[in-house]
Amino acid sequence: MQARSPSWMSIVLGVVALAIGGLFIGQGLGVIPGSFMTGDRTWFYVGLVVAVVGVVLIALALARRHHPSR
């Protein structure tokens, strides 16, 4: 059961990073108003990086689940 815990943790962290990245992207593009980040392109790029990290974490966790020998 311990072998599955890191996989689940990676998936959860990946989903959280993807959600935060999406929020940052939306605020950076001015789609989501109400913050100092709204309309600042810097936050778009930061969000893009965070979202990509989230996708990579999810993909690696799912790949490990399908190939437990790794």
Q: Tokens 């190939």 label which residue?
A: 67
Looking at per-residue confidence, does 21 or 70 come out higher? 21
Task: Look up residue 36 and give its amino acid.
Answer: F
**Which residues make Cβ contacts (< 8 Å) with residue 2, sequence separation at least 6?**
none
| Per-residue pLDDT reduced to its tens digit, 15-60 | 999 999 999 999 999 999 988 999 999 999 999 999 999 999 999 9
Q: Identify the pLDDT of residue 5.
A: 63
Q: Structure tokens of 50? A: 């965070």
What is the extent of the structural domain holding 30?
4-66
pLDDT score, position 21? 98
**Number of domains forming the structure of the chain:** 1
Rg (CA), the chain: 15
| pLDDT for residue 1 is more than 50 | no
Provide the pLDDT for residue 41: 95
Residue 67 clears pLDDT 70, i.e. is over it = no
